[in-house]
Amino acid sequence: MELYFLGTNAGVPTIQRNVTSIALRLLEERRSMWLFDCGEGTQQEVLRSPLKLSRLEKIFITHLHGDHLFGLPGLLSSRAYQGGTAPLTVYGPPGLQQYIELSLGISQSRINYQLHIVEHTGGVLFDDGQFRVESALLDHRIDSYGYRIIEMDKPGKLNQELLERYGIKPGPVYGKLKRGESVEVEGGVILHPQDVLGSPKKGRIITILGDTRPCPNTVLLARDATVVVHEATFLHDLADTAYEYHHSTALQAAEAAKAAGASQLIMTHFSSRYKDQEQLQPLLEEARSLFPNSSLAEQHVLLPIADTGQ
């Protein structure tokens, strides 16, 4: 798993930063990519990245403000020209379907793949036994949602030394045991998965939040997360401004991560008043004063999400 930021600015693009879009690469897990928000210019940023639209499987829109949405029609259209033929599902708040259908219809854009649009108001959006995606409403000027991506626990390691005693070599039997199936070996002995498997490996949790003031659902969605992506539009000396515009400060993002018991905080959605990475350093220092494992999102920088090791 890897996070890749295609845009980290709030409101409007700048020379240094594009508006919001985040890719979650599931390379080993599904050979696919999920996208969270799609601000204007996202497809140009994809062209400058190692990402491929042909591998795009799902898009999750947090809310319908333009800096999170205006790049969507163009990206959906361009995907058809870049080898994207597999079905694509777009999730987002009510109104998303009307926006997509009007944009593509009026422009007479042709989509040669199955496009599914799922409007939601929170809850469990997806569960295939490998990943589950949950969503909950945040506190913004319009309905804005956060997403919690849960990787299911994986089977533990096989005890190869024990299996070799039974004359079992790597192959189909290993796969059956990993899938939780019992197998019969020489002598009529039945081996059960619990006999040869170690403790399950804890799955990772990635929380990606839309624009929001501090609210209980930020903590709920980020509970015990491996990584939390939280907006940090302002420094805390502008907390009143942040509240007025329904945003959060870097310190408030750190407070949410700490309260949730998260392992890592990545901040994004920075005000244009902070023009470059140097001017963003005070936000990082502010967050680290409370939550040391904080970092600033940077465009076109891959951030691997490590296994829990448990």
Give residue-wise pLDDT tens across range 92-125: 999 999 999 999 999 999 898 999 999 999 999 9
- Provide the pLDDT confidence category of residue 188 given band limits of 50, 70 and 90: confident
- The pLDDT score that the predictor gives to residue 172 is 78
Give the active site residues: 67
Binding positions for Zn(2+): 63, 65, 67-68, 140, 211, 269
pLDDT for the residue numbered 308: 63
pLDDT score for 162:
74
Predicted TM-score of the model (pTM): 0.89
Indicate the SS3 state at residue 176: helix
Provide CB contacts within 8 A for 150, sequence distance 6+: 131, 132, 133, 134, 203, 205
| Residue 92: count of CB within 10 angstroms of its CB | 28
From residue 94, alpha-carbon distances to 68, 99, 118, 129, 195 in Å are: 15, 10, 9, 27, 49
Q: Is the pLDDT of residue 223 over 70?
A: yes
| Residue the block writes with tokens 């403000």 | 65
pLDDT above 90 (res 64): yes
Which residues lie closer than 8 Å to 303 by C-beta, 6 or more apart?
2, 3, 4, 5, 227, 266
Per-residue model confidence (pLDDT) at position 309: 53
- Does the pLDDT value for residue 310 go beyond 70? no
Q: Which residues contact 259 (CB under 8 A, 6 or more apart)?
A: 219
Using the CB atoms, write b or e for 221-243: b if 16+ within 10 Å: bbeebbbbbbbbbbbbebbeebb
Element (H, E) at 280: helix 277-288
Give yes or no for residue 155 having a pLDDT over 80: no
Residue type, 151: E
Phi–psi pair at 93, nearest 5 degrees: -70, 165
* Per-residue model confidence as pLDDT tens digits over 245-292: 999 999 999 999 999 999 999 999 999 999 998 999 999 999 999 999
CA angle 165, 169, 173 (to 5 degrees): 105
